[in-house]
Structure 1
Amino acid sequence: MRRFLQVLLMLSAAFPPMSAALAGELSSGEIRSELVGRSISWWEQGGWFSGQMMLLPDGRAEISIDAPKRAGDSGRWMVRGDQLCTVWGDFRSGQEKCYSLQRGAAGRFETSGGNVFEVREAGV
């Protein structure tokens, strides 16, 4: 029994909890593998705005605002360092904005800009 406990203690030290391994900001590779080509639902933390977004593999991006008033736009996305950057045709007057992303609970991602992303399904 004592030997078993020693082995268990060694293994627990060698393998940190999964939540610790998943904590922290996403790398550029993780941003690409987790978000590109997938349907993303998004909403503002504590805000009124919500919608859908798609980051296409060729660098194009599509976004919809479903609430409070329906609207949509298209633009481009890119990764700079470990940040996701978007430029929309009309939204934000075409200004580029970059965010770091952190893995949140239940498969969600939280942006440094106060939005939450939830991957819904694989895209085309």
Structure 2
Amino acid sequence: MRTVTETEVVPEQVVATDAAFGLIAKLEAKHGPLMFHQSGGCCDGSSPMCYPRGEFLIGGQDVLMAKLAGTPFYMHQSQFEYWKHTQIILDVVKGRGGMFSLEGPEGVRFLTRSRVFSAGEIEALREAGRI
């Protein structure tokens, strides 16, 4: 079994664009600490939803994927199984978001993009116990 060395980097499973970090900061100034959840269901659940922290109940099937500037990003286990070989990129685009997500009144919405991890990145994630 191969082990990850100190010089190898375990890739982040969720990252964010500058626009996403800017919107997170703006929403935190209005609403306090935030959290994200992406369930993968239909309708609003297919987009990342932004809530005041603690106002969405995290269940036993939710996986903490990352903390973006201290803001937790959760994904339902079934979605995680589908996406675990990709890096999730949280971004912002113009348009209406989910009706319960905090960014709705801002005229923009959070959107997830992705890129497939390389074979080496997947191996590093496995060795780190992250997938």
What is the TM-score of this pair, normalised by structure 2?
Answer: 0.31
Per residue, is there more strand in 1 or in 2?
A: 1
Bigger CA radius of gyration: 1
